[in-house]
Amino acid sequence: MERAIVLIPALNPLPAIVHFVEKLNTLAIEKIIVINDGSEKKYDAIFEQLLAEGCVVLTHEKNCGKGRALKTGMDYIIKSALRCKGVLTVGAHGQHSVLDIEQVLASTKIFSDGIVLGIRDFKGSDYPLITQLQNRASSILFELFFQKRLLDTQTGLRYIPIEFLPWLLKVKGESFRYDTNMLVEAIKRKISLYEVPIGHAKLRKNSIIYYDEITNHKQVLHQIWVNYFNKDKKQDETFSKRKRK
């Protein structure tokens, strides 16, 4: 199993993240980088515990959004002396189990040339019917606009080869929109997107997950729409320039 660096964007994380990191340290992980994205002061003790567990903790003085947090981590990796085959982005609030992460890492032995997505099963009882329908709608719209069928466009569990980081830093999006924009840019660059089923982490009823990967599908649909029509606009501008020449 190839060693990887884990990136965890964190906003007001629960104490359980410390135990989660302890488990991650038993895997083939090169380093765990946690980005404190403007968490409240009362969570400082949790980040101190993460430092004690050997994590690198990068801090935003104010909340900048999930996309910016991931870019901060990627920029740190590029500029550091850390060496790895790839980067694994992981949720901070129990969205992903250690078994989920093991499955994605194991799949990179086969899918080493592209981005690996940990795909959640929205048909399970953990997800309300409206969430299932919204996820289905975003998947259909994504396929319609970009000719690529993806079952889960918003999953936060992703394996990214290290050589992709420079162009990923240039992808637009400071919030969760970065997740969608990353996929669109990968398709434009003809980079393979692989899907690996996950779902071993059970969601607790009425739980709050920051950087919500479950209930923001209306905004995801809007972002897919914006990406598509921006693409058409750029193509029209290029065509107009050619005509003027």
For residue range 43-93, list pLDDT tens digits in order.
999 999 999 999 999 999 999 999 999 999 999 999 998 889 999 999 998
User: H helices within 41-176, ranges in order?
Assistant: 44-52, 66-79, 98-107, 129-146, 165-168
Which domains are present in the chain? 4-244 (3.90.550.10)
Residue 236 phi/psi, 5° resolution? -65, -40
pLDDT at 231: 54
Helix (H, G, I), strand (E, B) or coil at 49: helix
Q: Following CA atoms 23, 26, 27, 31 in sequence, which dihedral angle do they give, to the nearest 10 degrees?
A: 90
